[in-house]
Amino acid sequence: MSENIGAENNKIYEKIHYGKRVLPIIAKVDCLVAGGGTAGTAAAITAARGGLRTMIIERSIALGGMQTLGLVEPGMPTFAENSDTPYVREIKERLQKKGVDHSDKVTDAMWTNPETLAAIYDEMTEEAKVQVLYHAALVDVVRTGDKINEVIVQTVQGLVAVQSAMFIDCTGDALLSRLAGVEAESGSPQTGYNQPMSFRFEMGGIDFAKLTKYIADIHDEWCKSKLPHFEIAEARHRAIKYKLEEFFLKGVDSGELQEEDAEYFQAFTIPGKPGCMSMNCPELPRRFRAVDALSYSDGVRYGRAMIRRLCAYLIKHLPGFEHAYLSREAAMLGARESYRIKGKYYLTEDDYYGRRTFADAVVRTAYYIDAHGEKVGEYLKTGEFYEIPYRAMVTENVANLAVAGRCISASFILEASLRIQPTCMSMGEAAGVAAIFAKEKHLDLNKVEWDKIPSAQRSYVSGSKL
């Protein structure tokens, strides 16, 4: 129930009764995107370009999520030919125009710069006339029957409501979906654990001439690309024997590092930031849960201590790091997996191994099953891939909701393949395309048949060369 009952800050707001409160409806839109991360920005920009009044609610003050706030760069490659959808190609082109060389000319990884990418997303949302609501935490939904009417959001203004005809959940944690009553699952069915989280950080002041010489001297041939695109890594308890493992185990033996600090280490150069590397570590022990508020918070503190130990050890012992320093910590933990919805179609590893294709496919990928702590490996052959259907992004019981990103309808193991950035970006783009078509044809999002959308309007057509 809503009504016009007054003004706040000289603005007349329609109001909604929410429990014992009366909240202002600060916006009425065609499409509300929850989460402005990797999938959410793609969904919102695409929808707005199609003429929909669109809003993103984002809990931080930057778009891009793990790409920008989580410091997850570069984005991993799909290993599938012709997998880049138009939105992904545009992001790469914009990065290049900003002086960020996204290609290492060897792999298909998308090398990025977090500050540049955040600025690109601001530019794109402004150009498309997307309303971004920053520093806004999703609190609840108001649902009538099989449709969501409003979301309740905590902002600097206090609790407010946003009304929308359609909703796209890009929270990564399926939060909007779960608040709306969508069934979800979490963790491995065998162990109950989620994939371990990471707490990424950046270091500056690195002498790459000394570092690359040391890597060559120890005959570490892990990195196939050359500066300015360079990587170092080690991961214990994997089939691959990394040359740097001995270096980190010396730190464990000396007491400078703990066993958990040495479990996983990876670092990448950052285009446009000379002397800097982005650390894809530390990997937090599995006891810290991405779906448990207290455990997550304890993990932040524990992870920060791990960062300090790693920094001190690298500065003291790794050639090239003598004058290095901690330059930035991620603003969020990197959750590889938390919640996954139960949608109209449930993707499993059988779809991966069967190289399954779908008439309503929205993206293809061949990224390997990378379930940290459970199962890592299982590559498809060159030229092979599987597809993700639109039906895995919608549910039976909430009509005006679509989901994009790592929390779509998939098993624990299959999610470990589809969770990478370009795939999530393409899913977000597809959700935006579906929203445009839904409005045009007066359909609910869960009634859209992707393969009935004219191929020229789709961001991906199964079997086509994009």
Round to whole Å and give the CA distance between 419 and 153: 26
β-bridge pairing 21-34 and 54-57: parallel
β-bridge pairing 158-169 and 131-133: unpaired
Round to whole Å and give the CA distance between 91 and 394: 26
Other beta carbons within 10 angstroms of residue 222's beta carbon come to 14
Round to whole Å and give the CA distance between 403 and 390: 9
Strands of the sheet containing 231-235, edge to edge, are 231-235, 264-269, 277-279, 201-204, 325-329
β-bridge pairing 339-341 and 231-235: unpaired
Round to whole Å and give the CA distance between 427 and 239: 32
Round to whole Å and give the CA distance between 323 and 336: 32
Residue 3: predicted pLDDT:
45
Residue 134: predicted pLDDT:
97
Residue 179: predicted pLDDT:
98
Round to whole Å and give the CA distance between 20 and 13: 18
β-bridge pairing 339-341 and 375-377: unpaired
Residue 346: predicted pLDDT:
98
- The pair phi, psi for residue 3, each rounded to 5°, is -160, 155
Q: Which of 3.90.25.10, 3.30.950.10, 3.40.640.10, 3.50.50.60 would CATH assign to domain 2-187+339-452? A: 3.50.50.60
Residues of the chain with pLDDT under 70: 1-10, 375-377, 464-466
Residue 2: predicted pLDDT:
47
Bridge partners (DSSP) listed for residue 394: 402
Least Cα distance to 176 among 55, 42, 32, 43 occurs for 32
**What is the DSSP code (8-state) at residue 200?**
-
Reduced 3-state DSSP string for 105-144: CCCCCECCCHHHHHHHHHHHHHHHCCEEECCCEEEEEEEE
Residue 4: predicted pLDDT:
40
Residue 464: predicted pLDDT:
66
**What are the domain boundaries of the chain?**
2-187+339-452, 201-329
Round to whole Å and give the CA distance between 396 and 399: 7
CB-side neighbour CA atoms (13 Å) of 110: 25
